[in-house]
Amino acid sequence: MFEKRRCHFTHIFELFVRYIYAIIVITFSIAFSIAGNITSDKELVNDVKEASGIVMSADSLAVLAVVGVLLLLSLIMLLYCAFKWRYTFVSAEENTLIYESGKFIKKRVAIPFEKINTIDMGRNIFERLVGTCRLKIDTGAYSQRQEKNNAEMNLVFSLKEAEEIRSFILSRAELDSRAEDIEIGKTTVAAREPEWVIKAGIGDFVLYGLTSSSVWKLFWIIIAGIFFVAEIAQGFLDEALNLVMPYVEWATDMISRTSIILTLLGMLIFFLITALISDVWTVIWAAIRFYEFRVAREGRNVIVRYGLITVKNYTLQVRNIHALIIKQNVFQQMLGRCSVEAVCMGFGDEKTETALLLPIIKTSDLNKLLAVILPEYVTEMNAHPKNKVGIYFHVVKPIIIWGAILAGCCVACSYISGVSTLVNALALVLFAAVIVSGVLSYKNTMLDWNDNVVSVQNGGFKKVAYRIRSDAVQEVQIKTNVIKKQFGIGSYYVHFHGPRMNNTSISKNISNQFFTELARSVED
């Protein structure tokens, strides 16, 4: 047990930062109204000058009013955050963690240790500098006034206190679940370093960066940067354009006089240079984000820790991990690599949260690594054969639809501006992409199940496989239409319990003869 303790005082400033956006919006909405009245009221300006003895223009007085309102609201909000921190406590009673807040309107939350799903210890760069740690406790419970993505407790402690509280909670939860005699009479339990069974190296970071970089994302960042510069430095941009335009005109003239092959070659060179820059940046980002990535299995818990600037350190209870998501983009499929995420109650319900288990590994090593940290999810895929009629819906149907659309676009462009080799070439590239996507979609669609896990896989260029714990499946559906019914196929929808409102995996155009067997295995 431990007595009431207050979180670290720096929590005041972190609370204040959360409200800074609201302060700015309120300040500008109020202050600009005041400033407008000041600049239009000459008598008021003269009165202020006489009272203060300071000579200032109406515009200067308006700016002073805006700054004054901003400082006043900031001071009020800072005092509110300090008051909130002053009356926020954490303690433990018997088998329960107690979280109290408020002076006039008091809130008291009792969280049984065995109901705690996740313990997230995150540290941003400010918290690392001051030696603190954000401790988030989540049970994954809903309430009428609380959205699902809010943790029951989200406070900042010193790193030592956060580790002690985490160790205490895990020890008590282990005691309550196993009902064994464990000595925990002390107020805290000493934190110890987990035995890491999986560690990521520099080669993993490089491979992750090379297979997950987004050239188009970098392209749009460059475009956005150009528009930003255009807004803040119009004159500078005009001068730069005057210097660049002769070269642009020269390039345009050269393109008009050369063949389409040379034009495409130039575009390809530009794309490769952009891709190289994107790859380098993604590798650096991956090395910073996943620095010292480690995974450990301790009893009924999985512990994950990584990060250089912002450190992530979260503990997931195995009983609350309801599914695994194995992801592969087209490059990772070609290289036989994948990343693994956990679907865990109480973690991953916020947009910035991802319960990442393995950033990138060999697909062939997946079951071997899972056997160490999560043997409950070791399984093989594709035990049930696919219906070959699915080729029509995955491949032939998209080819017919997109072929008609692209052909129509080419005819329309040739009618408007004459025959365009470039448009026809782009149409052929897109048509080839449709064919490849359809083939991959048929190849990647799989459905399998055993006594412990339901496996659902789908996707074309982006392949996603779900391994869902059987007792977490809430509902199994199969949807079909008149045509698909004649061929005996349908799309399987497996709804499962998870942190988000909609947790569904889909496997399209699979033989409907497996539905009854799958539904019975889930019921059992």
The chain-wide mean pLDDT, for the chain, equals 77
Token digits of residue 141: 């419970």
Please tell me the distance from the alpha carbon of residue 409 to that of residue 390, in angstroms, as a whole number.
28
Contact 343, 355 (CB under 8 A): yes
Contact 406, 430 (CB under 8 A): yes
pLDDT exceeds 60 at position 229: no
* Contacting residues for 205 by C-beta, under 8 A, at least 6 apart: 283, 286, 287, 290
Contact 369, 198 (CB under 8 A): yes
Contact 191, 167 (CB under 8 A): yes
pLDDT exceeds 80 at position 3: no
Domain segments of the chain as ranges: 11-86, 93-194, 212-289, 383-459+468-524
pLDDT band at 466 (very low <50, low <70, confident <90, very high): very high
- Residue 147 has phi, psi (to 5 degrees) of -70, 160
pLDDT for position 219:
53
Query: Stretch 329-350: mean pLDDT, rounded?
Result: 81
Give the residue, 55 or 490, on which the prediction is more confident: 490
Query: Stretch 446-469: mean pLDDT, rounded?
Result: 89
**Angle, CA 418 vertex, CA 416 and CA 421 arms, to 5°:** 120
pLDDT for position 400:
92
pLDDT for position 146:
44
pLDDT for position 326:
93
Please indicate, yes or no, whether the overall pTM of this predicted structure exceeds 0.75.
no
pLDDT for position 493:
92
Residue 120's Cα: distance from chain center in Å?
Answer: 15
H/E stretch holding 473 reads strand 473-479
pLDDT exceeds 80 at position 372: yes
Percent of the chain having pLDDT more than 70? 70
Give 189-244 as a DSSP string.
Answer: ---------EE--HHHHHHHHHHH--HHHHHHHHHHHHHHHHHH-HHHHHHHHHHH
Which range has the worst mean pLDDT, 18-27, 227-236, 407-416, 468-477?
A: 227-236
pLDDT for position 167:
83
Residue 411: which region, alpha, beta or left (left: phi > 0; alpha: psi -120 to 50)? alpha
Give the residue, 412 or 524, on which the prediction is more confident: 412
Give 401-455 as a DSSP string.
Answer: HHHHHHHHHHHHHHHHHS--HHHHHHHHHHHHHHHHHHHHHHHH-EEEE-SSEEE
pLDDT for position 352:
60
- Please, what sign has the CA dihedral across residues 118, 379, 442, 363? positive
Residue 400: which region, alpha, beta or left (left: phi > 0; alpha: psi -120 to 50)? alpha
Q: What is the pLDDT of residues 148-202, one digit of tens each?
A: 446 678 888 988 888 888 888 877 766 655 554 434 444 444 456 778 888 888 8
**Three-class DSSP category at 466:** strand
- Residue from 361, 449, 523 nearest 457 by CA: 449
Amino acid making up residue 29: S
- Torsion, Cα of 33, 34, 39, 45 (10° steps): 170
pLDDT band at 465 (very low <50, low <70, confident <90, very high): very high
pLDDT band at 324 (very low <50, low <70, confident <90, very high): very high
| Beta-carbon count within 10 A of 326 CB | 23
pLDDT for position 189:
41
Please tell me the distance from the alpha carbon of residue 481 to that of residue 272, in angstroms, as a whole number.
45
Percent of the chain having pLDDT more than 90? 6
Amino acid making up residue 296: A
Give the residue, 36 or 489, on which the prediction is more confident: 489
Residue 317: DSSP 8-state: E
**Angle, CA 100 vertex, CA 189 and CA 346 arms, to 5°:** 70
Query: Stretch 278-293: mean pLDDT, rounded?
Result: 83
How many angstroms separate the most distant Cα atoms in the chain?
91
Give the residue, 454 or 352, on which the prediction is more confident: 454
Of the chain, the end-to-end C-alpha distance in Å amounts to 41
No. of helices (H) and no. of strands (E), the chain: 17, 19
Query: Stretch 52-62: mean pLDDT, rounded?
Result: 59
pLDDT exceeds 90 at position 468: yes
Which range has the worst mean pLDDT, 23-27, 273-277, 298-302, 392-396?
A: 23-27
Which range has the worst mean pLDDT, 151-155, 427-431, 447-451, 458-462?
A: 151-155
